[in-house]
């Protein structure tokens, strides 16, 4: 009985300490009617943070049952954000926790953003531990380069460089708890 109780407590403790990856999606990037990225892979346990970066248009993120349908999902707990614009000191954000394997479809339901501008996307949710083939961003890209007039020549020079994440930058955080979860049977046998 004691072994069983300890095994349950240990399993519960380890399960609460699993760290997933936080992917970022920009909503209305460069004041376009687009998500960036609009397609990527992630794993169960990861989360997607949508950041509203548009300075002009309002946008939303709504879960759909199929790609490009521009219709809200019939699921009782379908993901639905508020409608925001990014014209704020700190851009609004919404977090979608990924808990089911399979494709997740989303779109913007403001006006004709989905139907005419194709403002929709797909997240391919994989099993825990499966390697994403199309990784998403794990941080927001830096602002676009800006230009300033050169002091003597009048030529424009770059003041900042863009920081576009690549698949090499995708940092999978594997917690100590995940690695230890394989040791549960050993711990139970030692007790």
pLDDT reported for residue 105: 98
| 106 has pLDDT over 90 | yes
103 found inside a domain: yes
- Is 3 a domain residue? no
Number of domains the chain is built from: 1
Which pLDDT band, with edges at 50, 70 and 90, does 141 fall under?
A: low
Q: Residue 144 — pLDDT band, cuts 50, 70, 90?
A: low
CATH code of 109's domain: 2.60.40.420
The answer as to whether 4 is a domain residue is no
Domain assignment present for residue 102? The answer is yes
Q: Over 118-176, what HEC string results?
A: CCEEEEEEECCCCCCCCECECCCCCCCCCEEECCCCCCEEECCCCCCCCHHHCCCCCCH
CA distance 7 to 189: 10
pLDDT tens digits, residue range 43-55?
A: 999 999 999 999 8
Answer yes or no: is 8 within a domain: no
Percent of the chain with pLDDT over 90: 53
Confidence of residue 89 (pLDDT cuts 50, 70, 90): confident
- Asked if the structure places residue 72 within a domain, the reply is yes
Model pLDDT, residue 162: 33
Residue range 120-124: mean pLDDT, rounded: 98
| pLDDT mean across residues, the chain | 76
Is the pLDDT at 20 greater than 50? The verdict is: yes
Q: Which domain holds residue 30?
A: 21-190
- Look at residue 149 and tell me if it is in a domain: yes
Quick check: is 2 in a domain?
Answer: no
């Amino acid at each position: 009985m004691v072994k069983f109780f300890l095994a349950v407590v240990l399993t519960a403790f380890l399960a609460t300490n699993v760290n997933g990856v936080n992917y970022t999606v920009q909503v209305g990037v460069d004041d376009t009617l687009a998500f960036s990225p609009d397609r990527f892979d992630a794993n169960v346990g990861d989360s997607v943070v949508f950041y509203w970066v548009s300075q002009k248009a309002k946008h939303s993120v709504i879960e759909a049952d199929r790609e490009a349908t521009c219709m809200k999902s019939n699921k009782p707990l379908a993901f639905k954000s508020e409608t925001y614009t990014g014209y704020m000191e700190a851009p609004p954000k919404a977090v979608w926790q990924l808990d089911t394997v399979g494709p997740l479809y989303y779109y913007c339901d403001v006006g004709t953003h989905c139907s005419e501008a194709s403002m929709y996307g797909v997240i391919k949710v994989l099993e825990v531990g499966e390697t994403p083939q199309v990784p998403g961003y794990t941080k927001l890209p830096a602002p676009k380069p800006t230009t300033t007039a050169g002091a003597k020549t009048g030529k424009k020079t770059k003041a900042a460089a863009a920081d576009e994440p690549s698949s090499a930058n995708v940092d999978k955080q594997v917690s100590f708890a995940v690695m230890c979860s394989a040791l549960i049977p050993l711990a139970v046998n030692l007790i």
